Chains A and B, each alone.
Chain A
Amino acid sequence: AQSVTQLGSHVSVSEGALVLLRCNYSSSVPPYLFWYVQYPNQGLQLLLKYTTGATLVKGINGFEAEFKKSETSFHLTKPSAHMSDAAEYFCAVITYNNNDMRFGAGTRLTVKP
């Protein structure tokens, strides 16, 4: 079955600095990859997803992620962090023939003023 590993349970950046949240996946068939964001006491909101086609995916709030098959990675980036980006971020993987979306353990992003 597919799986996801998120490196770093906590990431802290200064406002205006680059955000990089790491995600590596394992899948025996081509994966579909997702990044979700969870604000306190709320459900998960989709940031972006990769299914097929262009490997650089742009999402909401200025986030983007690049699917790198050779590195089995789908890292999330944002050029300049904003205070409102502080939240928990989850990477997830699912395959076309599977109902079981596997989530990473999450990375909590803190943005310092």
Chain B
Amino acid sequence: GAGVSQSPSNKVTEKGKDVELRCDPISGHTALYWYRQSLGQGLEFLIYFQGNSAPDKSGLPSDRFSAERTGGSVSTLTIQRTQQEDSAVYLCASSTGQGGKTQYFGPGTRLLVL
């Protein structure tokens, strides 16, 4: 009965380094979302996975951001050559489908780029 989990919970990195953030969705959920929450702002959609379909990458802010989902379960969000403006909380959510299906959120990964 575990919810969505994310790791690490906190990550501090130096500008220019690459980081990987992990998301374990709720078992059986076919849809997985990544969002970015910057200080004092709302959530910004990044990418969406649904089953075996090609992901919707329309929200990725630059080509430094990429994500994959292996075996239809665990997802990894990778940020290459991190910049200070990448500092934010990265939230993952999963659901049983798109549209009106409820998205269940993980606790997030707080990324600080020095």
Which chain B residues lie closer than 8 Å to A43 at the CB level?
Answer: 4, 91, 105-108
Given known contacts A32-B100, A43-B108, A94-B99, A100 and B58 CB-to-CB distance under 8 angstroms: yes
Q: Is the CB of A97 within 8 A of B99?
A: yes
Which of A42, A90, A94, A100 has a CB less than 8 Å from the CB of B107? Answer: A42
Q: Is the CB of A102 within 8 A of B45?
A: yes
Check if A83 is an interface residue, CB within 8 A of chain B: no
**Chain A: interface residue total (CB-CB under 8 A):** 27
Interface string of A66-91 (1 = CB under 8 A from B): 00000000000000000000000010
Query: Which size class do B's interface residues fall under?
Result: 20 to 34
Interface string of A94-113 (1 = CB under 8 A from B): 11111111111110000000
Q: Is the CB of A98 within 8 A of B41?
A: no
List B residues 70-99 near A (Cβ within 8 Å): 91, 93, 98-99
Residues on B facing A (Cβ under 8 Å)? 4, 31, 33, 35, 40-45, 48, 50, 56, 58-59, 91, 93, 98-100, 102-108
The 11 listed contacts between A and B (C-beta, < 8 Å) are A32-B100, A34-B103, A36-B105, A41-B107, A42-B107, A43-B106, A44-B105, A90-B43, A100-B56, A105-B42, A106-B42
Residues on A facing B (Cβ under 8 Å)? 32, 34, 36, 41-46, 49, 51-52, 90, 92, 94-106
